A and B are shown apart, each in its own frame.
Chain A
Amino acid sequence: GAGVSQSPRYKVAKRGQDVALRCDPISGHVSLFWYQQALGQGPEFLTYFQNEAQLDKSGLPSDRFFAERPEGSVSTLKIQRTQQEDSAVYLCASSPLGQGNSPLHFGNGTRLTVT
């Protein structure tokens, strides 16, 4: 596709449910990032992949959060036993290279509401 695609666009989950959020980066992009954006706040880094390798997962808030990118393209962010504080917009971004000065392309995000 032309841009970064995230699905679903909206997700409502009951507390305790598991959810899986998908990110389709731009084809061929090496780097993929996940961010969490709480209402009224700037995005916060969660994790970073270079191809299939997860190089940094220091931003994942707890062991309930898990991300994978098994074939170096599509990535899934999984949240187990969701809690109300997990409610946020989850943003995915990709960039063509692994270097720090490579441009970023963002998806529209998945808005997760945990009730």
Chain B
Amino acid sequence: KNEVEQSPQNLTAQEGEFITINCSYSVGISALHWLQQHPGGGIVSLFMLSSGKKKHGRLIATINIQEKHSSLHITASHPRDSAVYICAARGGADGLTFGKGTHLIIQP
């Protein structure tokens, strides 16, 4: 069973700061997903990665397959970025193993 660990669990930062959220997993995967969940809302898929780096607007996701580690970065953070960010590892059986999430608060 894949173990997915996220850090930090909670993060409060000031508007404009550069944010990094980390995710590590224990066994080989076919893809890693970064998801965003707003309070009371559904889950939005931000990125799906199997190698390298992806960028979308102010969001950047990287993955190191050898080290079994991925990071999500937010540049020029804004209060609307406040949400729970979840990484999820997809293994060969096609099930997903989720991290517990990082609660991010960006203060104006």
Q: Do A and B bind each other?
A: yes
List residues of A whose CB falls within 8 A of some B CB. 31, 33, 35, 41-45, 48, 50, 55-56, 58-59, 91, 93, 98-109
A44, A59, A98: the one contacting B94 at CB < 8 Å is A98
Given A56-B93, A100-B94, CB of A107 within 8 Å of CB of B42: yes
Q: A41-B101, A43-B43 are known contacts; what are 20 more A-B pairs with Cβ within 8 Å?
A: A41-B100, A42-B86, A42-B100, A48-B94, A55-B93, A55-B94, A56-B94, A91-B42, A91-B43, A100-B29, A100-B30, A100-B31, A100-B92, A103-B48, A104-B33, A104-B48, A104-B96, A105-B45, A106-B43, A109-B42
Given A42-B100, A45-B95, A99-B30, CB of A108 within 8 Å of CB of B41: yes
What is the minimal beta-carbon distance from A3 to any residue of chain B, in angstroms?
9
CA A91 – CA B86 in complex, angstroms?
14
| B83-108 contacts to A (CB < 8 Å) | 86, 88, 90-101
CA A45 – CA B2 in complex, angstroms?
12
List 10 A-B residue pairs with CB atoms under 8 Å apart, sorted by A's residue number. A33-B96, A35-B96, A42-B98, A42-B101, A56-B94, A91-B43, A99-B94, A100-B29, A100-B31, A100-B91
What is the minimal beta-carbon distance from A89 to any residue of chain B, in angstroms?
9
